[in-house]
Amino acid sequence: MSGREKTRERWQEFPMLNPKIRKVTVNVSVGKSGEPLERAERIIEQLTSQKPVRRKAKKTIRDFGITKGEPISCVVTLRKERAHEFLSKALQAVDNKIPEENFDDTGNFSFGIREHIEIPGIKYVPELGILGMDISVSLGRAGYRVKERRKGKATIGKKHLLTSEEAIAYTEETLGVEVVKSVE
């Protein structure tokens, strides 16, 4: 019996260990404020049906013409059903394949889309142009709220933390993604 089959059996035996998608974060960095950022906001709103939030530059970089405090990107955080819907479309844009090195030690993974028109159902609009985006998926288990709540904050035990192997097994099984091994 392989390690992933053992993991699935543990999930059957102990339902609290079942992983779930906590949130999906979609980020578009334009690098400029003004019209390019407004176009990016319209594209993200079209993709996710949710209004994006602007993010400001943390420091001044003269070579790129960026000043501290200038809005240069926009972000949307999706949860529950919206997260699942968007993620299923976004994964199709990368042919349902994610490299193994995109997973971190705590069970999260990220991937990028070079052109937003690769997402199924999205048509090219000349006024908006084409943008790439970064998508980060945060996985967790029931009980993870104890480390984020305001009152009665606590740490999560080592045995309850999600590992990268469990995240890969969940992603392959639930989302239908092929995790590609890295070649060294």
Domain ranges of the chain: 3-177
H-type alpha helices, the chain: 3-13, 35-48, 80-93, 164-174
Contact (Cβ atoms closer than 8 angstroms) between residue 175 and residue 48: no
Q: How far apart are CA 44 and CA 163, in angstroms?
A: 31
Q: What's this model's pTM, rounded to 2 decimal places?
A: 0.85
**Among residues 89, 67, 68, 92, which one has the least CA distance to residue 78?**
89
Looking at every residue in the chain, the average pLDDT score rounds to: 86
Class of 3-177 in CATH: alpha beta
pLDDT in tens, 3-40: 677 777 788 788 888 899 999 999 998 877 788 888 88
User: For residues 135 and 25, is the Cβ–Cβ distance under 8 A?
Assistant: yes
Q: What angle do CA 34, 73, 129 make, to 5 degrees?
A: 65
Which positions ≥6 away from 23 have C-beta within 8 Å?
77, 78, 79, 83, 137, 138
Highest mean pLDDT among 60-64, 67-71, 134-138, 144-148 belongs to: 134-138
DSSP assigned state of 53: E
Q: What is the pLDDT of residues 107-154, one digit of tens each?
A: 899 999 998 888 888 888 888 888 889 999 999 888 888 888 899 888
